[in-house]
Amino acid sequence: MNWQPKYVSAQFGSGVSIPTRRQFSKLLLGSGLLTNSELWPAFAQSNPSGPAAAPDCDLLIKGGTVIDPSQKLHAPLDVAVKDGKILEIAPDIAVSRAADVVYAKGKLVTPGLIDVHVHVYEGVGASGVSADMYCLGRGVTTVVDTGSAGYAAIAGLRKYIIKTSATRIFALVDIGGLGVLVGLKDSLMNLNWVNPQLTARAAEENKPDVIGIKVRLTKDYTGANDLEILKRALEAAEATHLPLMVHIGDSYSPLPALLSRMRRGDVITHCYTSLPHGVLDANGKILPEVLDARQRGVLFDVGAGTFYLDFEVAEKCLQQGFLPDTIGSDLASSSAKRPTFDLVTTLSKFLLLGLSLDQVIERVTVAPTRLFNFGTDLGSLKPGGEADITILESREGTLFMDQYGKSRKTQQKLVSAAAVRHGRLYVTQSEELVARAATTASGA
């Protein structure tokens, strides 16, 4: 196979050839990237001193700085994995106990990152990207596809994407019967396609992979019917006992009218958009109805996407103490090249905006488990939980742009180095690691 000699994430340069999904899957899953000592002598290898006669862990991540907000941990600790679960987290776990060892000195070790807002129905409609390439391949172990499919296509998303991907994928069913499969403009104008009964039935039939309902309330999609469409989405959510995610920005009705109908546990996404009917008033102050909604238990997600993260709006909100509950990337084909790139880049933007490293990691690990019931122990490194782990590198900053072309210089950026998904190690998108993998795969 003709591999490029260098393969890097889009934020590190331009003009770099991206392999196809099939090529990338071979690189990621089938080219010896799993604890291969020849490719990664300083990173991951079989136990150099030889494992004990009966090692009690499959994988040991050694020497990294663990950041686990669910346990209020930020310290040098080792993490041991056995049978796809976290076995132990402690200082200086003996190498002799492990079959394979990852040396993570100088790196950050976190619970597997969770992106609560992506579009990964690849090949069906124009918005989907490969989850394994853009999510697991960039350090994100779990994602939520937010309304790519409505009741007419959710079973296909489950069968052909969720069940076949290495990335852990959940989904929200869109209240529009076709989701985004034929585009968004005018997609909810015909109320015959906005059917709460069929949406609820599709959600029930596709649980536990379906964990919520999605509605988009932009006037180009809804026309003047946004309140009726919201009503129907809430009917589907209530019938299935699931949360509702509401896309805001340039709605026909003002935001307070939408918020007044939302329930505890429902989610607003695109909370830092500068489009009309956002969270700020004309004077840059948080709307009192927004604060009231948060007090009632409505949650707020970033959903950066192509148009929905404005640095100035975010700064005004953060200065008033209005932090997001979660940081979703809204990764899709339109945002994967720029300006979003991936979840880790979005996290770096929030370090630039003033959140601490612990605050950023919290919003993509334990915080998503407060939004959605994933049905398993995610977002934490507690022993007995799922062995989903992300290894990050902290590097010198770079120039970042928001979704409106406003640029800022940051002192620090995060880069993914590896991910562990249910106990299996994947080396991801650190530039030098992936470049070496691509060179080796090409036979160079």
Q: Give domain limits for the chain.
A: 10-111+385-435, 113-371
Q: Which residues, at least 6 apart from 241, have a Cβ–Cβ distance to it below 8 Å? A: none
Say if strands 113-118 and 140-146 run parallel, antiparallel, or are unpaired.
Answer: parallel
Say if strands 113-118 and 98-103 run parallel, antiparallel, or are unpaired.
unpaired
Closest CA to 132 of 231, 34, 23: 23
| pLDDT averaged per 10 residues in sequence order, the chain, 444 residues | 25 31 44 36 53 79 97 98 98 95 96 98 90 95 97 97 97 94 79 96 98 96 96 98 97 98 98 97 98 98 90 97 97 85 94 96 98 97 98 87 79 92 84 42 42
99 near 56, Cβ under 8 Å?
A: no
Q: What DSSP designation does 10 have?
A: G
Phi, psi (deg, nearest 5) at residue 99: -75, -40
Owner of token pair 């009966």: 54
CATH no. for 10-111+385-435: 2.30.40.10
Cα–Cα distance measured from residue 57 to residue 87, given in angstroms and rounded to the nearest whole number: 7
* pLDDT at residue 61, rounded to an integer: 97
Q: Output the pLDDT for position 99.
A: 95
Q: Which class is 113-371 in CATH?
A: alpha beta
Place of tokens 């709006």: 313
Tokens of 78: 């080792």
